[in-house]
Chains A and B, each alone.
Chain A
Amino acid sequence: GQNIDQPTEMTATEGAIVQINCTYQTSGFNGLFWYQQHAGEAPTFLSYNVLDGLEEKGRFSSFLSRSKGYSYLLLKELQMKDSASYLCAVGDYKLSFGAGTTVTVRA
């Protein structure tokens, strides 16, 4: 089975940087995924890591350490529209999701 932990809430100021941590224990792993979900909407894909290290996509970066069962999502130059829930997910062709971290961006 899967056990995925991430903080419940985080608050940051517009223009700042926020790091969302995710730890996991899993019986099957092919990748770690990050999804963004705005309130009342479906999750949308942000990034994924298969190998250890940092993946950068514009303002968003994701890091993975498979030996530590640890990942983080880094959001830079925060904008108001980044206020959302960020879901960490692990698995192969079936994904198990964490409960999400709600990020609130304040002006």
Chain B
Amino acid sequence: DAMVIQNPRYQVTQFGKPVTLSCSQTLNHNVMYWYQQKSSQAPKLLFHYYDKDFNNEADTPDNFQSRRPNTSFCFLDIRSPGLGDAAMYLCATGDGSGANVLTFGAGSRLTVL
């Protein structure tokens, strides 16, 4: 089945210790997104790649970076996690059309100690 896979599902890190979350897709979608979702809040778009073009949301902290080495893979790097970065990180893909349905991965839950 075509899908979006995130690893790890659960990540525990220490304050300030870098973390990398990965996302892979078999849908061959042009666009890959990273959302941050805290408890009982709306998913918040951090950035997205439209093919190789990187697009950062204006309020995404510099602490968050992303890489997309090829169509299938995208990584979220958190350089120095703070307690406020504890959240569920959701990867999603879309075909980039005007009203495109996003397909989400199962999410990576980050805990910062």
Residues of A within 8 A of B (CB): 4, 30-31, 33, 40-45, 48, 50, 87, 92-100, 102
Contact = CB atoms under 8 A, between A and B. Distances in A.
Interface residues on B, range: 20 to 34
Contact of B101 (A40, A45, A96, A98): A45
Nearest to A102: B40
A40 B50 CA distance: 28
A1 B26 CA distance: 31
Ranked nearest first, the 9 interchain pairs of A and B with the lowest CB-CB distance are A31-B99, A42-B104, A97-B42, A30-B98, A99-B42, A30-B99, A97-B43, A93-B96, A42-B107
B102 A45 contact: yes
Given A42-B106, A43-B90, A43-B104, A87 B42 contact: yes
Contacts of B104: 42-44
Contacts of A93: 31, 50, 94, 96-98, 100
